């Protein structure tokens, strides 16, 4: 391909709206163009990257035994009502009315459609297991699209669904997808970590996310450098090295009431009393499946609602509003405490480690000082309730947890029978018994692979594409277009490399060398080949890897084979890197 025909609208200046590195560089490199909030056109170069990622995904999904289908993006809302997700998904679901007054939705994901498909299709255990996948544009009415192509209102997703007869089959299907994902992201050259995750509103009981650590990541990942434990913040456990005091000091002086007029927040109360926030506790009141329930945490800790929900064994927890709180506790928000509380209360483990604590007095403008946990209120329902933070002990090895932000590029779930139960998808087992099918679902945000690759590898001059998904492998830069020898060499190398299966772009623009080098760095093609009069005079041309500081001169008449040797060596190195990663990785086994 010749640059002059390639439609690569590079920008010298950074568009004012772009902040995230991937957004800035993809725009500047002429790979994407914005239409509106969360909607982007992929220009030829950007589309090539997207297609290369898709090709890798397709190869690995096929190799894992999944079958490709293509389901409609346009779906009747009835299916969503049947699964119960019409309400749960809410405004994120893009709804529209078509002729005849039919209410439709543009698919944000396809559990409903796949379940509808297999409830007709799958009649016998002999047809199972089966995994179907598709690569398709999804639609979500995101309240806040962000960071260029990181969060958009329409995006390309690879979604797969395993249909299994029993839990054993599900675990096998899940592990296959998990391993396929590892190979996909390894091959795409994006550095990822795998974290334990909450399954969220999609339902199900086990889940892992594939995250690329980077500053524009929207998720918080908690991890332990020492043992490799990693989880997203919703899920991350706090290690239990906090000393607990099972026998409270019975001889401690009785607690006393203090007047704290108007001091409602933890900070206000602690400042007023001149104590550290970590010596106080807060009582948070929620509606758990509609019934009031409380969580008690250290003043400076944050409640993890997912942990709270599990501790109570309920399916939803929502913060209670002010009237509900007063009715349930007899005191307004800001003065709540555990002493004498009437509603069910679960307590974070950290509370048990506190000899005395400052808490609300369950009366207006009153707090209690010198309250002894275990003496002044029972410590019978201790749980890990708080968000893990940097510096907390690792739940596995006791070492220190760290926090990073991560960009989610893939997610695998065990759904179980959530959808088959709701939508009546059953098969006949060996004994002729009608049984609900068991499902798993597996998603990859394809556009996010592109964004993540840029986030993970760029410098001040531009993008540094991994070889496997680079729009072109080699950029040939002739410096003097009117020099016949230069142009002959250019064509010869272009044909030789193309014949060897490489994607070659030739910068045939009549521009000064510096101009072309700047654009070359910007679009991030991995290998640059410079052909100029000066080098040719000495029988040399220059080849330079984008990720390396300097290039090297090779003999011009054997340049093509030298380049191919470089490419071969680079590929081998990447393969070794992938193999190393696989060795160091433990695949989660079914429990």
Partner RNA sequence: CGGGGCGUAGCGCAGCCUGGUUAGCGCGCCUGCCUUGGGAGCAGGAGGUCACCAGUUCGAAUCUGGUCGCCCCGACCA
Q: Which parts of this chain interact with RNA (CB under 7 A)? A: 10-17, 19-20, 23, 28, 34, 36-38, 92, 108-109, 138, 140, 142-147, 151, 155, 157, 159, 199-202, 218-219, 411, 413, 443, 445, 461, 479-480, 482, 511-515, 517-522, 530-535, 542, 544, 551
554: left (phi > 0), else alpha (psi -120 to 50), else beta? Answer: beta
CB of 222 to RNA, least distance (A): 15
Nearer to RNA, 259 or 485 (CB): 485
Dihedral sign of CA atoms 182, 31, 3, 528 in order: negative
In angstroms, the Cα distances linking 95 to 85, 103, 116, 203 are 13, 7, 19, 22
- DSSP string across 70-100: ---SEEEHHHHHHHTHHHHHGGGSEEEEETT
Shortest distance (Å) from residue 308 CB to RNA: 13
Query: Please, what is the minimum distance in Å from the beta carbon of residue 515 to RNA?
Result: 4
Give min distance, CB of 256 to RNA, in A.
Answer: 36
CA distances from 574 to 59, 110, 180, 188, 467 (A): 18, 34, 17, 10, 9
Smaller CB distance to RNA: residue 17 or 268?
17
Best CA proximity match to 238, nearest among 384, 423, 126: 384
Taking the least distance from each CB to RNA, the nearer of 176 and 411 is: 411
Say how far apart CA 133 and CA 119 lie, in whole Å. 17
Are 423 and 119 contacting, i.e. CB atoms less than 8 angstroms apart? Answer: yes
Phi, psi angle pair for 410, to nearest 5°: -155, 155
**The pairing of beta strand 67-68 with beta strand 94-98:** unpaired
DSSP structure class, residue 560: H
Q: Which two tokens stand for residue 42?
A: 């992929």
Q: How far is the CB of 246 from RNA (least distance, A)?
A: 35
Nearer to RNA, 335 or 465 (CB): 465
Distances (CA, A) of 285 to 368, 380, 500: 18, 18, 67
Query: Minimum distance from CB of 517 to RNA (Å)?
Result: 4
In the complex, the smallest distance separating the C-beta of residue 265 from RNA, rounded to whole angstroms, is 16
C-alpha closest to that of 24 among 461, 404, 448:
461
Question: Closest separation between CB of residue 60 and RNA, Å?
Answer: 18
Looking up tokens 């929207």 gives: 218
Quick one: 79 or 359, whose CB is closer to RNA? 79
In terms of CB distance, is 156 or 359 closer to RNA? 156
Residue among 237 and 507 whose Cβ is closer to RNA: 507
Which residue, 4 or 241, is less far from RNA as judged by CB? 4
């Amino acid at each position: 391909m010749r640059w002059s025909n390639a439609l690569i609208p590079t920008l010298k200046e950074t568009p004012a709206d772009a902040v995230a590195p991937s957004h800035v560089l993809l725009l500047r490199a002429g790979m994407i163009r914005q239409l509106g909030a969360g909607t982007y056109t992929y220009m030829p170069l950007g589309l090539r990257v997207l297609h290369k990622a898709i090709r890798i995904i397709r190869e690995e999904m096929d190799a894992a035994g999944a079958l490709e289908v293509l389901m409609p993006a346009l779906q009747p809302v009835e299916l969503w009502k049947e699964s119960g997700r019409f309400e749960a998904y809410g405004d994120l679901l893009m709804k529209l009315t078509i002729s005849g007054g039919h209410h439709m939705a543009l698919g944000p994901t396809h559990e409903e459609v796949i379940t509808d498909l297999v409830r007709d299709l799958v009649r016998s255990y002999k047809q199972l297991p089966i995994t179907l996948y598709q690569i398709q544009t999804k639609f979500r009415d995101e309240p806040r699209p962000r960071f260029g192509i990181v969060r958009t209102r329409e995006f390309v997703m690879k979604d797969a669904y395993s249909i299994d007869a029993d839990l054993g089959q599900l675990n096998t299907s899940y592990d296959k997808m998990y391993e396929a994902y590892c190979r996909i992201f390894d091959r795409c050259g994006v550095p990822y970590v795998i974290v334990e995750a909450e399954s969220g509103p999609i339902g199900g009981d086990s889940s892992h996310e594939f995250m690329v650590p980077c500053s524009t990541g929207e998720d918080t990942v908690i991890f332990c450098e020492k043992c490799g434990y990693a989880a997203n913040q919703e899920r991350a456990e706090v290690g239990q090295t906090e000393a607990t005091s099972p026998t409270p000091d019975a001889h401690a002086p009785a607690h006393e009431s203090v007047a704290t007029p108007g001091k409602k927040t933890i900070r206000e109360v602690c400042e007023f009393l001149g104590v550290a926030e970590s010596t106080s506790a807060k009582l948070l009141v929620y509606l758990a499946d509609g019934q009031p329930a409380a969580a008690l945490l250290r003043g400076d800790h944050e409640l993890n609602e997912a942990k709270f929900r599990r501790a109570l064994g309920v399916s939803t927890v929502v913060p209670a509003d002010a009237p509900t709180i007063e009715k349930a506790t007899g005191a307004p928000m800001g003065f709540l405490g555990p002493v004498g509380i009437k509603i069910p209360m679960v307590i974070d483990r950290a509370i048990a480690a506190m000899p005395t604590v400052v808490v609300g007095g369950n009366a207006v403008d009153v707090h209690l000082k010198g309250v002894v946990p275990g003496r002044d209120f029972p410590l019978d329902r201790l749980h890990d309730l708080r968000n893990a933070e940097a510096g907390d002990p690792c739940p596995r090895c006791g070492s220190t947890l760290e926090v990073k932000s991560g960009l989610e590029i893939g997610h695998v779930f065990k759904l179980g029978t959530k959808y088959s139960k709701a939508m009546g998808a059953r098969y006949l087992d060996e004994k002729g018994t009608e049984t609900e099918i068991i499902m798993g679902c597996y998603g990859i945000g394809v556009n996010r692979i592109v964004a993540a690759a840029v986030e993970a590898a760029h410098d001040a001059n531009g993008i540094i594409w991994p070889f496997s998904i680079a729009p072109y492998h080699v950029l040939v830069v002739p410096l003097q277009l009117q020099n016949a020898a230069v142009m002959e060499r250019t064509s010869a190398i272009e044909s030789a490399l193309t014949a060897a299966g490489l994607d070659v772009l030739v910068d045939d623009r009549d521009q000064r060398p510096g101009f072309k080098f700047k654009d070359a760095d910007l679009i991030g093609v991995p290998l640059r080949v410079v052909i100029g009069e000066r080098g040719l005079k000495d029988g040399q041309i220059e080849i330079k890897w984008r990720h390396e500081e300097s290039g090297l001169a090779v003999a011009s008449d054997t340049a093509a084979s030298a380049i191919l040797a470089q490419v071969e060596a680079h590929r081998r190195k990447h393969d070794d890197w992938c193999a190393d990663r696989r060795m160091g990785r433990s695949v989660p086994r079914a429990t």
